[in-house]
Amino acid sequence: MIRTKINQLLDKLPEEELENVYWSIKSIEEEYLYNKNLQDKGVVISDIEDSEELIKRWDRTFAKNISDHVKRDIYYDQFRWHIFSYEKQECLEEEAARNAFNAVEKQDLYIMYQGVTSVLLYLNASELVAENFDSQQDIYIFDKNFSWTYVNTHESMCGPYFYKVENR
């Protein structure tokens, strides 16, 4: 029934509008497949109530040695991951970052996105690997102890990045 309605709508649109429809549907499909993959792996997702404090703690933990002046110079307020792309924070990159993320223990994870004020908690996340996040842009993944973070950006030439806090 719904497929028939969709087809009727598509038939009314001019050819030049169909590309917009395609990309909208493609985006919906990617989000569906991402969430289905998490569900298939047994991940339980919940919202965190005090997300603002977790975001501030990410900043204090993973960018603690970066001065406010440097943060302004590298547009940290636009993208936190600039601390890695501008090489202000030493980290693993690309395949080395993926391998480190895949190897690290990750029972429960915090997930935040650039520009979003909420943080998610992924429970039972031990089966997740870097490739599970390839469709996600400007995503920051970190453990409950704030001992490491994995970042996948929207820029194909930047990242992913993995940073582990030393001497905790």
Half-sphere exposure of 96 (CA within 13 A, CB side): 8
- 42-90 pLDDT tens trace: 999 999 988 999 999 999 999 999 999 999 999 999 999 999 999 999 9
- 5-39 pLDDT tens trace: 999 999 999 999 999 999 999 999 999 999 999 99
Q: Is 37 left (phi over 0), alpha (psi -120 to 50) or beta?
A: alpha
Given a contact cutoff of 8 angstroms between Cβ atoms, the answer to whether 103 and 168 are in contact is: no
Domain ranges in the chain are 1-40, 44-164
Query: Band of the pLDDT at 122, cuts 50, 70, 90?
Result: very high
Q: How confident is the model at residue 33, as a pLDDT? A: 95
* Secondary structure class of 92 (helix, strand, coil): strand
The pTM for the full model equals: 0.90
